[in-house]
Amino acid sequence: MNSVVDPELIDAFSTAGGQNKPRYGQVTICWAKSEEAGQSEAKKIWPNALINGEASTELPPPRHFEQLTEDLPSSMISSSGDITCGPSAKIHIGAIRKFVDAGFDHVYIHQIGHNQEEFIRFAKAEILPEFAK
């Protein structure tokens, strides 16, 4: 599902008239005190990340996502590479770096989870300095 982190997408955008326009990408993370806690929280809040293919767009109510994912292990939430989980700045920076390296000039960090204030402190201290100009 990380196909959006594809330099060919940026090339196609530029060719179609986007040369001087901003290029936005989104990385989804679940900051938590451990990788396991992040995976558990992400599965609970964002179970749709575990669903691939047409089911990811065709399931009507949220309870269908919950039904399909209830027996899946939380560790699967980050195995696809679409969501990074836990306290490691390195893993989150790596996910953001994929967008930067592909040519995106704006990267939105979608933090799922209930630790928003702690995440903001973490991001300010550990992530943002890596991308400061």
The domains located in the chain, with CATH, are: 2-131 (3.20.20.30)
Please give the average per-residue pLDDT across 99-126, as a whole number: 94
**If you average pLDDT over residues 27-53, what whole number do you get?**
89
CB atoms within 10 A of CB 127: 18
Least Cα distance to 103 among 27, 37, 30, 11 occurs for: 11
Phi, then psi, of 60 in degrees rounded to 5: -70, -65
The pLDDT value recorded for residue 104 is 92
H/E element, 25: strand 24-30
pTM summary value: 0.83
